[in-house]
Amino acid sequence: MIIPETPKICVIVIASPGKVYEDFKRIWIENWETHGLHYGTLIFLYGRGLSDNPSKYDIHLDVADSTVPGVLEKTLEMFRIIKDVRNYDFVFRTNLSSFLDFNRYMAWLVSQKTSGLVAGCSPDRSHIGGCGMTLSRDVVEDIVNHRSDIDTDVVDDLALSSWLFPRYDIVWTKRIDFVYTNQVEVHNCDTTNTDFDDVYHFRFKNYDRTHDPDRMYKIFKNRTGGGL
């Protein structure tokens, strides 16, 4: 079934305290309030760590901020909380160090099936990357109902992928990762094709994170008509 009208999305952004992450967060809020607000709900998902820049989009859970099992536990608990909320059709889960082009994302999403959708990317497709995972509402509910079956002793994207792979067909998507100043990793894209107009998701993970927010802001302005 193809979605006849614009669906509602719940964007869950795994968040952490710290200056660089607060800079990412400010870009996220500007992007959301100018281009994403009418599409649904935005959540900055924190554990016990407190944001230096609190916003109306923040949710704090009594969960450790560790990578394992903290990120997975935050994700599963947030899925449980939203399970019975009626104002979303899909969840997009990512983190603060990524940029989502909302208009291009929604243009892709309206062409997808309304149920059983599990979409994302990874370099070798051995698992779905936790940054940029799209799940339809029924899949979120399925995960919540089988939460005890998910291994919480491994990193979140591997744990979710191990549970999802035998149950759902994966729709592989595209993401561009800016790893160094002059290096770009292209996940699930044709690297010989320099036209990335259909790519809606970018990630910034330079070893020197202090420059990443500036790079993200340039992409944001470029993609939304502001120019570099």
pLDDT in 10s for each residue of the chain, 228 residues: 344 478 999 999 999 999 999 999 999 999 999 999 999 999 999 999 888 889 999 999 999 888 899 999 999 999 999 998 889 999 999 999 999 999 999 999 999 999 999 999 988 899 999 999 999 999 999 999 999 999 999 999 999 999 999 999 999 998 988 886 556 676 665 555 556 777 999 999 887 888 899 989 988 988 886 543
Closest of 213, 125, 115, 200 to residue 165, by C-alpha:
125
In angstroms, rounded to a whole number, what is the distance separating the alpha carbons of residues 147 and 78? 12
Residue 34 to residues 6, 103, 109, 226: CA-CA distances in angstroms?
17, 11, 19, 12
Q: Which two tokens stand for residue 98?
A: 């990524």
Q: Which two tokens stand for residue 115?
A: 């149920």
In angstroms, rounded to a whole number, what is the distance separating the alpha carbons of residues 39 and 41? 7
Q: What is the pTM of this model?
A: 0.92
pLDDT at 1: 37
Q: In the block, which residue shows the tokens 């903290």?
A: 70
Task: Give me the domains of the chain, ranges plus CATH numbers.
Answer: 9-173 (3.90.550.10)
